[in-house]
Amino acid sequence: RMGTSHDDDDDVDDCVDVSHAKTLARLSDESLPTFDTPKQEDDYGWDRSWQWQTCAEFGFYQTCEDASSCLFRAPALSPPPLSLASFVDVCVAVFGANASAVAAAPGITNERYGGWRPGSTRVLFASGSIDPWRALSLTPDRSVNEEWLPTMMVEGASHHAWTHPARAGDQKSVVDAREAIAARVDAWLREGPMDEEEEGEEDAARGARGARGDVRFVRDVS
């Protein structure tokens, strides 16, 4: 169990259970909350959906296998605790996936949605400059079409900081980002439906995506 610290709360019982076995058990829970048996706040219902996406769609596992000073690399441990295999093992245990399907999933997803040239319009790609996830987003230095797929880099911001409830101490770049995003959405709504020329441009963009594909996992229950 790992202790956590809050502003004015040093309750020794306020801990996070880091048991791998319990995590797998909770991720494997397929039950849904009901009015009689609501889920608790610390249940993994949301995490199960996210885990499924990583296994079946895009992977993007943050590993520490390289010879680096990564905090969680733990070179004395074999195998390393955050190896690629350790993440794939979760896919196998929870969803009955196999390594080859997990490895193929990102390529299928990129083919379906266009990769670095997504076949979509009126999508704003906002990224934080200190967010590692920006590596998977269109950014000002990796832009396709600023008219149809505008990008924004929020300086000094972490992972989607602008989507959190506003606070008095929010940094200016985050405040400005919220205002810019709202202004962009308002402008698109005022424009209304796209005209035929615009729809043609969108169809052309969609045509570049290629054939669609899907990843399906079948659990062996024999």
The answer to whether 181 and 157 have CB atoms below 8 angstroms apart is no
DSSP reduced 3-state for 96: coil
Q: Which segment of 18-32, 91-105, 152-166 scores lowest on mean pLDDT?
A: 18-32
**What separation in angstroms does the CA of 50 have from each of 117, 162, 180?**
24, 21, 28
CA triple 40-46-48, angle to 5 deg: 110
- The per-residue pLDDT for 33 is 67
- The per-residue pLDDT for 72 is 62
On whether the pTM is more than 0.85, the answer is no
Q: Please name the helix (run of DSSP H) or strand (run of DSSP E) that holds residue 203, with its range, or none.
A: helix 196-207
Q: Which residues neighbour 206 within 8 Å (Cβ) at sequence distance 6 or greater?
A: 119, 120
Rounded mean pLDDT of 174-179?
97
Tell me the pLDDT tens digit for each residue of 211-220. 444 555 544 4
- Distance CA(197)–CA(127), nearest Å, equals 30
Rounded mean pLDDT of 74-94?
79
